[in-house]
């Protein structure tokens, strides 16, 4: 997760809590029973959680901190996106002046992307993906829904440390979540669970089971996004992202027990899955 501004997170939570309290009070004033009011309030809570997750990109931009718009890093990201056939539409805004060389590189990417858009237009039937850069020494790469589009967040350390091929692999993986509609599926699941939890309640044992099932689902989605990334770019790019991360971080990896309580499978298993798929279909990454 990206670094957050605590006061903005608390402001958001306070606003949601206040709204739900008002809604619950309105239901009771209408003469509804407490049970009916709780169910309807739970439904409203589920819809709010779904909407917040549906607008996750905008919410994280509002609550996040250390977001930067470095032209040189933006140029690297846009070049990687261009190479894997993704056109990133950017909202117009004033760039920070970080030096002539960085601006020249960024402008060159803008020109190439504009030329590509004129020639082929946006990819048919595919939603746009914005990319925000987070100033962090951690390796961060996440993608969330952002209304009718998607937003990926990547850290400065990832952009600065990875080679161009590995960065292509990371962005192709994040776009793999987009094409498989993982963010909107996640928003729907969170909304449904919240509606049931606040409406009728969920036993503690069931909460544990749901949490473990949710983490298992997230791990499976990582394999799906990896497979999509291999098709969009190449096995070499995706594997390079894993190998370079392990080299930089000292070959850190999850044990099977730790993985059981995590939303990401170990790199070892993800690499093995890619190699296994290549062995079955050698021409898959071509």
Instruction: Quick: pLDDT tens for 9-58.
Output: 999 999 999 998 898 888 888 888 878 888 888 899 999 999 999 999 99
State residue 280's pLDDT score: 74
State residue 226's pLDDT score: 96
State residue 99's pLDDT score: 42
Q: What angle (nearest 5°) sits at the alpha carbon of residue 149, between those of residues 261 and 65?
A: 60
At 53, give phi and psi (nearest 5°). Answer: -70, -35
Asked whether residue 242 is assigned to any structural domain, the reply reads no
Output the CA torsion sign for 176, 88, 184, 199: positive
State residue 110's pLDDT score: 55
How many Å apart are CA 65 and CA 135, to the nearest integer? 8
How many Å apart are CA 55 and CA 50, to the nearest integer? 9
Asked whether residue 46 is assigned to any structural domain, the reply reads yes
Domain count, the chain: 1
Q: Which domain holds residue 178?
A: 1-201
Verdict on whether the full-model pTM lies above 0.85: no
Asked whether residue 269 is assigned to any structural domain, the reply reads no
Q: Strand locations in the chain, DSSP E?
A: 67-68, 129-134, 141-146, 149-155
103: Cβ contacts below 8 Å, ≥ 6 apart: 71, 95, 97
Would the pLDDT of 116 be above 90? no
Asked whether residue 78 is assigned to any structural domain, the reply reads yes
């Amino acid at each position: 997760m990206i670094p957050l501004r605590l006061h903005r997170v608390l402001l958001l939570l306070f606003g949601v809590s206040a709204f739900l309290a008002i809604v619950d009070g309105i239901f009771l004033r209408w003469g509804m029973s407490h049970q009916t009011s709780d169910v309807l309030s739970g439904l409203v809570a589920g819809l709010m959680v779904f909407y917040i997750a549906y607008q996750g990109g905008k919410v994280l931009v509002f609550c996040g901190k250390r977001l930067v718009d470095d032209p040189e890093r933006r140029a690297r990201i846009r070049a990687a996106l261009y190479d894997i056939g993704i056109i990133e539409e950017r909202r117009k805004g004033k760039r920070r002046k970080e030096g002539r060389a960085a601006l020249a590189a960024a402008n060159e990417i803008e020109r190439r992307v504009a030329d590509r858009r004129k020639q082929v237009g946006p990819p048919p039937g595919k939603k746009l993906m914005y990319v925000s850069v987070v100033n962090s020494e951690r390796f961060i790469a996440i993608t969330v829904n952002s209304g009718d589009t998607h937003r990926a967040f990547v850290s400065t350390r990832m952009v600065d440390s990875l080679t161009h091929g590995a960065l292509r692999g990371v962005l192709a993986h994040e776009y793999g979540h987009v094409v498989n509609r993982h963010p909107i599926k996640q928003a729907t699941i969170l909304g449904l669970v919240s509606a049931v939890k606040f409406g009728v309640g969920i036993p503690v044992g069931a909460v544990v089971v749901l949490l473990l099932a949710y983490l298992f689902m997230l791990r499976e989605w990582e394999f799906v996004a990896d497979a999509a990334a291999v098709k969009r770019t190449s096995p070499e790019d995706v594997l390079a992202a894993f190998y370079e991360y392990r080299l930089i971080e000292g070959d850190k990896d999850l044990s099977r027990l730790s993985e059981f309580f995590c939303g990401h499978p170990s790199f070892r298993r993800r690499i093995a899955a890619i190699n296994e798929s290549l062995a079955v279909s050698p021409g898959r990454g071509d």
